[in-house]
């Protein structure tokens, strides 16, 4: 059944159209009518027409305005314009709306039959395509997990070999990098070890598809099947380099995913994460993820946060060193200053005299910190910039002088990084606020905005809250509500029009948000003139 809406303020035109349509197409069409643009907008929502005959010249909301409003929500409706004037007068105004054809009054039955027949055929083709697309989607929901599982299985066996390109094309992998992640489930975690892994794995079988979607939503990864109590995931990355801050944010995001899964499935989870590799070498990252999951004591463990390959002499302050460079990478110059002072104290306690080992360690730390700054863009590399470092450390005869120089350098480097990060943050936030101001009436979801500025939704949310003092969502709502209040106070637009212009498709939802924000409904606000 094809649904047709006739919108014309002349009753005789409506009846004439109905008669000709029924005469030519019989009972294959269900017809409704409207006398003005506002009624047409309402029927477009409730009746759901496939084809709309729209008169241009009507009182109130004219045909052009009505079609624009309908098109915002109904992308596939076919419009046929009715006009008593030359159609070319409206061609430019209608071109963006996607009008299929124009009919000049008085209507000619043969012309109407030809135009409507074309519109009906196009409607049927669209519906058939939508049906086929749905069938394809349903098939993909079965096939894709099998392909993803095949990719994961091959990766575990030592890396993709001959069929690598095929998997890359099938799974639409657009990057050459990624990391492996292993998710394990159990009843409890005791001293870093999951209990009753067999029983938990069996229980998780029935929840696997839900779990799979949660993992894909959180990571965007390729998810393998449930093997015992383990699920293996490959997460594509844009580059092979991963900054400390990015790693921290990734871990926090995965921790959030774990918390959701624990609430959902009444189980405990432990995650091991490997380092970023070329995706054809994902087997190496998988092994890292496996070892990390075994050795890590937390719920989420990253290979680079565990000392599994390097052994330090007894008494060496490895944790202090790790904290110091984490502070440097994150631009925490005050913490870097404090930890540098502590490290100098440790060297003094280990060696009363300033030995060459001490001098070399100081140089090692400073050069390592500067390398971090160069990589992050916090400092500009100059080949000769370190020329005097060796002479300087050789000149020092006591810890006080050496310590002051060392601490000062580590703090300066960290400050450079902090400044650069702040500049990046400000640029991102300024860009986001500009996008919001220009497009708050459309789709400006956190996910879309994050994609626009090239960072993760989680990171954008964190940056925005830190910069503006409010969440991204609250900022958008505040902007929309300010606009709505101005329109309600100073324009004659309908509440429905203001609702759409404020970025909401559902007037009822808009009304609820408005009342929650202002304490009044839109109608009450307008009546009060506040």
Q: Are 366 and 491 part of one and the same domain? A: no
80 in Cβ contact with 51 (< 8 Å): yes
- Rounded Cα distance, 398 and 348, in Å: 10
Tokens (6 digits) for 162: 């001959």
Q: What is the CATH number of the domain that holds 72?
A: 3.40.50.2300
Last residue of a domain, one of 50, 79, 107: 107
d(CA 186, CA 467): 39
Number of domains in the chain: 4
On whether both 341 and 206 belong to a single domain, the answer is no
414 and 291 together in one domain: no
Residue in the structure block whose two tokens are 């076919």: 78
> Do residues 218 and 325 both lie within one domain?
no
Question: 521: domain range?
Answer: 440-528
Q: Which of 421, 448, 464 marks a domain boundary? A: 421
Are residue 162 and residue 297 in the same domain, yes or no? yes
CB count in 10 Å sphere of residue 249: 17
Element (H, E) at 237: strand 230-237
What pLDDT sits at residue 167?
62
396 shares a domain with 447: no
Better pLDDT: 410 or 75: 410
Residues 456 and 335 reside in one and the same domain = no
Whether the model clears a pTM of 0.75, i.e. scores above it, the answer is no
Task: Residue 175: give its domain's CATH number.
Answer: 3.30.70.270
For residue 78, is pLDDT > 80?
yes
DSSP secondary structure of 260-286: HHHHHHS-EEEEEEPPPEEGGGHHHHH
Q: Is residue 495 part of a domain?
A: yes
Q: Are 169 and 268 in contact (CB under 8 A)?
A: no
**Dihedral of CA 354/358/364/370: which sign?**
negative
d(CA 308, CA 289): 12
Does 465 share its domain with 351?
Answer: no
Q: In terms of domains, do 345 and 224 share one?
A: no
Task: Give a yes or no: residue 17 inside a domain.
Answer: yes
Residue 426 domain flag: no
Identify the burial level of 430 via C-beta atoms within 10 angstroms of its C-beta, where 0-12 means exposed, 13-18 middle and 19 or more buried.
exposed
Span 435-482, pLDDT tens digits: 888 888 787 888 888 877 777 677 778 778 888 888 888 898 999 999
Q: What are the beta bridge partners of residue 55?
A: 82
Q: Each residue of 288-310: pLDDT tens digit? A: 888 888 777 788 988 887 654 45
Please tell me whether residues 159 and 294 are part of one structural domain: yes
Q: Please, are residues 199 and 191 in contact by the beta-carbon 8 Å criterion?
A: no
């Amino acid at each position: 059944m094809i649904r047709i809406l006739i919108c014309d303020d002349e009753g005789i035109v409506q009846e004439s159209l109905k008669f000709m349509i029924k005469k030519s197409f019989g009972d294959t069409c269900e017809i409704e009518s409207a006398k003005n643009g506002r009624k047409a907008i309402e029927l477009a929502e409730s009746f759901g027409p496939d084809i709309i005959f729209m008169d241009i010249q009507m009182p109130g909301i004219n045909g052009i305005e009505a079609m624009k409003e309908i098109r915002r929500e109904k992308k596939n409706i076919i419009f046929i314009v009715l006009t008593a004037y030359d159609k070319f007068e409206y061609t430019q105004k209608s071109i963006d709306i996607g009008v299929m054809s124009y009919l000049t009054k008085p209507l000619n039955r043969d012309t109407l039959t030809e135009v409507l027949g074309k519109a009906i055929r196009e409607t049927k083709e669209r519906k058939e395509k939508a049906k086929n697309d749905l069938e394809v989607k349903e098939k993909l929901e079965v096939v894709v997990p099998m392909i993803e599982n095949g990719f994961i299985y091959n990766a575990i066996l030592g890396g993709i070999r001959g069929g690598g390109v095929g998997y890359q094309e099938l799974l639409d992998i657009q990057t050459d990098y990624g990391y492996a992640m292993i998710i394990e489930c159990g009843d409890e975690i005791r001293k870093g070890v999951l209990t009753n892994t067999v029983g938990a794995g069996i229980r998780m079988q029935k929840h696997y598809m839900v779990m799979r979607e949660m993992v894909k939503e959180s990571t965007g990864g390729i998810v393998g099947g449930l093997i015992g109590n383990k699920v293996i995931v490959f997460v594509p990355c844009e580059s092979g380099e991963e900054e400390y801050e990015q790693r921290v944010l990734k871990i926090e995001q995965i921790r959030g995913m774990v918390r959701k899964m624990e609430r959902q499935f009444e189980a405990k989870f432990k995650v091991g994460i490997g380092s970023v590799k070329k995706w054809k070498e994902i087997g190496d990252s998988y092994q890292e993820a496996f070892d990390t999951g075994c050795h890590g004591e937390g719920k989420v463990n990253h290979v680079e946060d565990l000392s599994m390959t390097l052994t330090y002499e007894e008494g060496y302050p490895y944790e202090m060193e790790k904290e110091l460079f984490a502070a440097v990478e994150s631009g925490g110059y005050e913490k870097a200053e404090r930890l540098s002072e502590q490290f100098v104290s440790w060297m003094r306690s280990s060696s009363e005299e300033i030995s060459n080992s001490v001098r070399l360690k100081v140089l090692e730390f400073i050069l390592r910190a500067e390398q971090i700054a160069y990589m992050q863009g916090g400092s500009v590399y100059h080949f000769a910039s370190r020329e005097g470092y060796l002479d300087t450390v050789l000149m020092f005869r006591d810890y006080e002088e050496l310590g002051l120089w060392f601490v000062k350098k580590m703090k300066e480097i960290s400050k450079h990084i902090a400044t650069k990060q702040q500049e990046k943050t400000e640029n991102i936030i300024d860009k986001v606020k500009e996008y919001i101001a220009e497009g708050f009436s459309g789709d400006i979801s956190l996910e879309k905005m994050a994609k626009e500025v090239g960072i993760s939704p989680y990171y954008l949310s964190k940056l925005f809250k830190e910069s503006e003092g409010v969440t991204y969502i609250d900022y958008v709502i505040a902007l929309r509500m300010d606009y709505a209040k101005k329109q309600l106070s100073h324009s004659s637009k309908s509440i429905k029009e203001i609702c759409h212009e404020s970025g909401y498709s559902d007037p009822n939802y808009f009304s609820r948000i408005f009342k929650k924000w202002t304490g009044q409904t839109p109608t009450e606000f307008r009546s009060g003139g506040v």
